[in-house]
Amino acid sequence: MATIMYIPEHRQNRFAMRAVINYCVQEYKIFDNKSNRQLISGVNCDGANSFREFMATKKVYGKDNGIFFYHYAQSFSPTEKITPEQAHEIALEFAEKAWAGHEVLVTTHCDANHIHSHFVINSVSFESGMKLRQSPSTLKHLRKLSDEICVAHGLSVLQPYEGGGKRMSTREYRARMKGESWKQKLANDIDKAMEFSGSKDEFIRSMSILGYHMTWTDERKYLTFHCPNGKSCRDIKLHDEKYLKDNIERELLQREFPDSSSGEKQPTGWEDSRELYEQHLRERALSKAEMQRIADSYSDISSGLSSLAGAVSKIVDNDSEDPDERRKRIEAEENGSALGAVLGLGIGLVTNATAVSQAETLKQEPDYEQEDYKAREEILHEIFGADDYDYDDYDDSEDEDEDERFSMTL
């Protein structure tokens, strides 16, 4: 996935513009070892001579003052399967559509673990001499355009987050793109917990095993999640209406009392999760049926052995029997003892195999209705893999200044 970022340049003069261009065209950053070429191009200009052409255009129209240039970057996630050359082609396509009528320097940097492209735009149009203007909606428009181009090239994009609270900040947008957003991890964990929860109590229990606790009362309008990293987040800040308190409560009630509501169930946004939950219920029911079948088989074996033992027990000592009959009886008893040992070994093997089979069945298909606290905790830990969730101290403040200077480590 790719994200578009605006890089504020507060110094606006010819020297500042030259400095930014020189940074963007550094040879060790733009040289691609795979294609053996320098990834530098120009839209409506020669990329290598972009500074001279920018200044020539400004002088023609007498506008070599005020805002000289704008600076943007398009950055791809490290997990995106894309080559530097492909990223450069996408950047060129994006620049042509985003800043038509303007000269744009396009360079792609290959020296970081995330491939990214820089755009330096001449503020003066070479066609009309009009200056490029920006509005609060400019960045939103550019991100939408970038997503459309990425989808056309078969690349992934960030899903739009609409409703459910205030808009996503620039920092959170970048964090989600890089897979570093603790709020995204929270949302993912809520999704996992909902797949295995059929009631409010089960959901609270599942979230607690993952390290969360919640402030969830009837008096409060919002549901607040307290995360393992020490941060707290209200439901309205997860940028999806399905995470709102009302929708989670409505969904869990419909699962706990599926026959109580008349007609169609009210939409909650959790319909896909509900299908997974119902699938888990069916799988657990099949598992219990298989366990009962094994238990019944073991019962039949035990019954047969008991009958055999009863028959053998009817043999008793009889002092009145003659020596030949006594000898035959003793031989029969000794043979019976040997048979008993063999049968005893067989019982042990069957019992052991049954126990292993039951253990494997329990491991694969946990019984979520058992009351034992520790057993339930172990099962849920196995399902959720809570130990695999590492929470860092990433600062995702909603109050970040939108004009924060973008890191030059790009």
118-164 pLDDT per residue, tens: 999 999 999 999 999 888 788 889 988 998 998 898 887 765 544 44
Report the amino acid identity of residue 252: L
**Assigned domain for 373 exists:** no
230-263 pLDDT per residue, tens: 999 998 888 788 899 998 998 998 888 887 655 5
**Contact 278/361 with Cβ under 8 angstroms?**
no
The CATH number for 13's domain is 3.30.930.30
**CA-wise closest residue to 143 among 129, 131, 126, 160:** 160
**Assigned domain for 341 exists:** no
Model's pTM, two decimal places?
0.46
- Position 391 pLDDT exceeds 60: no
Residues counted in the chain: 410
Three-state secondary structure call for residue 100: coil
Domain count within the chain: 1
**Assigned domain for 404 exists:** no
**Assigned domain for 333 exists:** no
Three-state secondary structure call for residue 5: strand
**Assigned domain for 67 exists:** yes
**Span 157-181, mean pLDDT?**
56
What mean pLDDT, rounded, does the chain reach? 75
Q: How far is C-alpha 230 from the geometric centre of its chain's CA atoms?
A: 20
Residues 6+ apart with CB under 8 A from 227: 182, 186, 211, 212, 233, 391
Measured CA distances, 405 to 29, 353, 399 (Å): 20, 66, 15
* Two structure tokens written together for 307: 């009958």
Can you give the residue range of the structural domain that contains 12?
Answer: 2-152
